Amino acid sequence: MSIIINEEKKLFTLQTNSTSYQMKVDDLGLLLHTYYGKKIPVADMSYNLNDYYLSFSPYDFIGEGWKPHSVDILPQEISTFGNGDFRESAINLRQADGSLGLELRYDSYTVEKGKYSLEGLPSFYGDNAETLIVTLKDKIYDIYVHLYYGVFEEYDLITRAVKIENKTGESIHLEKAMISLDFFNGDYDLVTFHGKHMKERMLQRNSIFYGTTSVGSTRGASSHMQNPFAILCDKEANEEYGNVYGFGLVYSGSFLISASKSHFKDTRVNVGINPENFNYEVEAGGSFTTPEVAMVYSSEGFGKMSRCYHKAIRNNLCRGKCKTARRPVLINNWEGTYFDFNADKLVSMAEDASKIGIELFVMDDGWFGKRDDDHSGLGDWKPNERKLQGTLKKLADRINNTGMKFGIWFEPECISEDSDLYREHPDYAFKMPNRKPSESRNQLIVDMSRKEVRDNIYNQLEKVLNSANISYVKWDFNRHISDLYSVALPKDKQGEVFHRYILGLYELLERITTNFPDVLFESCSGGGGRFDMGMLYYMPQVWTSDNTDPIDRLDIQYGTSFAYPVSTMGAHVSASPNHGTARVTPLKTRGIVAYFGTYGVELDINKMSDEEKTEIQRQILEFKKHYDLIQYGEYFRLQGPFDETKYYTVWEVAKEDGSEAIVASVRNRNEAGLVHEIVKLKNLIPDKFYRINGGEQLYLGGALMEHGLKMEYDFFEYPARLYHITLSE
């Protein structure tokens, strides 16, 4: 049993394989957080709660003989504004009378088998979980706050969400809606993942100072600049050691993650919708549900935390037939042709690609409407039969006749002013009254909060997908949201538009992925601008970055791996010199880096030499040979790209039972006189012998883990090696 309740003490304990999480109702009726950490036998951990009064920290007096204690120093399970707690609040709620107060007290609880679901929002799912719902009620008003907890024992994963229910008879307004978690200690680091277009998820680690440290997005998307995932950890925590707490927001819009250290040396983490430009009316009898936060605690450093997330995301967040099926090796024509193509050129690429084992041909931007550059056509999802030299079905059939599947690119959330859809419905685009809208990539955003807009887009996409044998869709989003204003909402509801947009997007994604279950959908936003758990609920893979330079990808895929599994990372071999960086790298290196993702090709294969085609053919066979191990094995970051004392980036994927592993190394910089480096491997059987790449020499598993493996030296720029480690018979 993962949820244990002591009704007499009003004590709630959540247990996973390795962790315990506990909360308790105090004599005021406050739900207080007492423990989150390494698994221990169930015991009342409230003895460390502060039970005294401090000056300038108010308390709620309940009668003679009661010892006052300040709310401001209590670890609350959900924090609210206006009740004497001056730390960062999770919920700010304005009552119908204009007051900003919410004083929550314990009301009831329920326990359910299986994982709760959230209406209109993505969330982890599964019968291999249990649900606890603790209900709190305001002391004065009929406002109920339901705290949802999902417990996945096997992954050490606990999910949380909050539902605010309004039974007052009048409308109330939410100005902040997040989840919070309080820690007794204040001496932590915060690890976050920043970046920009073509340089996403760069790891940064900073001490939490007195005050508030925060990251977030106000772009209407989770963004390239910050990722909705963060880690709170001990100062000394590393890959294998230390207390580590992961917080993953299952949401794709504007978000905020903050960590606040109070003057009493405790820490509060808040995660949820960014409160900037957020004001949501909850009508009488209505409710509002926050996005879900997925939490993992590890006492064994970052590595174990990551492996818990990887399993949970693969098995209980991604959905559909494609989540476990082997993904086809694809070629995308974008970097090979950009907008300059016709059907004959695409078919010629497909013919060459099929001969070397590529299985899926993806036609990227430029196939629809008036679309010979990025100034026009978005919104007109009708094949350009002049450019395609016939119908889309004819082209798909020609591609299929080469032995390849056929895929296609869409950008359904954006619209060009030079398009038939915009000329017919200019109100579909976000525009502020009396202002000219700002453009990005020569395009505007369509208002996904409106059902008629979603229906129009869906009907166009449905017609295209039904017209030909289409096996794959790349869903792109090449700008972020400005000029935020919906003509469908009154002026006092414009603070709801960002969130309503995301809810509308999710509704459209649910509709199209449900109705086309055999299509593999890949999310993209100029690469990794919306790489988040929310999108993975609808699409099992994300184009990790528009930057395909393998040396830059070491950084990008390293940072991404802290939360997201290999199976979700779109990774391709592209041309050299690279189109984004002009860096020249060996084809073998480009392939090895792309193996640890979905592996595909993004270049003009007609321009490749026979030698290069042979190498790609070899890579495809090698990738397929190791597919299950790479995609579903235990992932270990052995040596990261940000360590300036090291010259190799090294990572490993191993079977859980230690019977097989694959290690990849890339030398990401050179130095005169450089020799080899030795790296210690992981997850092998200490007393068993192994072979490396089928060689004759035997290596003891314990020796490889404690003494290490020499990274072989190759005298040229950016060499890469793959070490396949198997048990000796």
**Cβ proximity of 220 and 501 under 8 Å:** yes
- Per-residue tokens: 260: 């606040």
**550 vs 556: CA distance, rounded Å:** 9
Q: 63: Cβ–Cβ under 8 A, 6 or more apart, which residues?
A: none
- Per-residue tokens: 223: 């963004």
**106 vs 9: CA distance, rounded Å:** 13
Strands 541-543 and 520-523, sheet pairing: parallel
**390 vs 371: CA distance, rounded Å:** 16
Neighbour tally for 510: CB within 10 Å = 14
What distance lies between CA 607 and its chain's CA centroid?
A: 36
Instruction: Kindly state the helix (H) or strand (E) to which residue 245 belongs, with its residue range.
Output: strand 244-250
Strands 572-574 and 11-15, sheet pairing: unpaired
**Cβ proximity of 131 and 150 under 8 Å:** yes
**504 vs 511: CA distance, rounded Å:** 11
Q: 597: Cβ–Cβ under 8 A, 6 or more apart, which residues?
A: 544, 557, 566, 569, 570, 571
Query: What angle do helix axes 550-560 and 587-595 make, rounded to 10 degrees?
Result: 10
Q: 546: Cβ–Cβ under 8 A, 6 or more apart, which residues?
A: 197, 198, 526, 527, 528, 580
Burial 325-364 (b: 16+ CB within 10 A, else e): eebbbbbbbbbbbeeebebebbbebbbbbbebbbbbbbbb
**210 vs 264: CA distance, rounded Å:** 10
Strand positions, DSSP E, 460-610: 472-475, 520-523, 541-543, 569-570, 572-574, 600-602
Beta partners for residue 652, in sequence order: 636, 663
3-class state of residue 277 by DSSP? coil
3-class state of residue 187 by DSSP? coil
- Per-residue tokens: 574: 């592209």
- Per-residue tokens: 513: 């992925």
DSSP string, 439-502: -BTTBEEB-TTSHHHHHHHHHHHHHHHHHS---EEEE---S---S---TTS-GGGGGGHHHHHH
- Per-residue tokens: 48: 């460390």
Strands 31-38 and 91-94, sheet pairing: unpaired
DSSP string, 691-728: EETT-S--EEHHHHHHT-EEE---SSSS-EEEEEEEE-
What burial class does residue 388 get, using C-beta atoms within 10 Å of its C-beta: 0-12 exposed, 13-18 middle, 19+ buried?
buried
Q: Which residues are catalytic?
A: 532, 612
**711 vs 486: CA distance, rounded Å:** 57
3-class state of residue 13 by DSSP? strand
**4 vs 23: CA distance, rounded Å:** 11
Query: What angle do helix axes 392-401 and 343-355 make, rounded to 10 degrees?
Result: 20
* Distances, alpha carbon 164 to alpha carbons 116, 138, 403, 625, in Å: 16, 11, 53, 50
**Cβ proximity of 369 and 380 under 8 Å:** yes
